[in-house]
Amino acid sequence: MKTYKVNNIVIGEGTPKICVPIVGETMKELIEEAMNLENIAYDLVEWRVDFFHKVFDLEEVLHALREIRKILKDAPIIFTFRTAKEGGEKEISSSTYFELNKRIAESRLVDFIDVELFQEEKSIRSLITFAHEKDVRIIASNHDFEKTPSEDDIIHRLKKAQYLGADIPKIAVMPNNNEDVLTLLSATNRMKEYYADRPFITMSMKGMGLISRISGELFGSAITFGSAKKSSAPGQIPVAELRQLLSVISNNMND
């Protein structure tokens, strides 16, 4: 399986890497959140730009991104506009969505761009090609905030992201019972054992799905998400607690 090294962070081997979201609505809030990360043991940062109140002003987005990059220095950054249909804060036209992500790739201020798997396939392929030319990697993601699809469907979506050329496939699903959590974990394990040739991300949301956020080293998910101040999805726990739980599992896996 491929791994990706971003600075000193290797994604796809060992303990799952911890990503923290920043979700400020204003420049002031974003700067405060970014500065607050100084004493937090994270691995990656995801800027959920759909929370930003000036997200449809491209120059303001780029200005904010430059300020975030200055504070975070060499930390790996994921740029994400999560659409309303996948649990995000705002809706956006397809043309604006891809133009925004293309301009961010062109800036080379981020390491990853998250593009939603069920956007228009031709546009996804074009963005992946363009981003790779700028040394930016693509996470192709899918989020279901209502239910957990079947095990085969979860695997199908991850394989589709891989087929499209995304560097990291990702899926997050909502459990309605314990069986749903087991479905997600089983799909993750099957993906790791039989289909994945690159790192991928899976998670079951809410408190019920917490086990999926801490067991990636065992089942196969390469990145997990924890909160610094504000969470961006149901079930995220504080980074310090997440780091401790990951360490306990990692230190005892071979006993």
Positions marked catalytic: 143, 170
Is 247 within any annotated ligand binding site? no
Single-letter code of the amino acid located at 72 = L
Pick the closest to residue 154 from 138, 182, 175, 173 (CA basis): 173
Q: Is 47 annotated as a binding-site member?
A: yes
User: Cα separation of 30 and 24, whole Å?
Assistant: 5
**Are 209 and 235 within 8 A, CB to CB?**
yes
Residue 82, marked binder:
yes
**CB distance 164 to 140 below 8 Å:** yes
* Alpha helix segments (H runs only) across the chain: 27-36, 58-72, 94-107, 121-133, 151-164, 178-190, 210-214, 216-219, 239-252
- Name the region of 40 (left: φ>0; alpha: ψ -120 to 50; beta: rest): beta
What is the distance, to the nearest Å, from the Cα of residue 131 to the centroid of all Cα atoms in its chain? 17
Q: Is 236 flagged in the annotation as binding?
A: yes
The distance of Cα 56 from the centroid of its chain, to the nearest Å, equals 21
- Closest by alpha carbon to 81, among 58, 101, 110? 101
Nearest by Cα to 145 from 239, 232, 224: 232
Query: Three-class SS of residue 5?
Result: strand
To the question of whether residue 213 is assigned a binding role by annotation, the answer is: yes
| Binding site listing for 3-dehydroquinate | 46-48, 82, 213, 232, 236
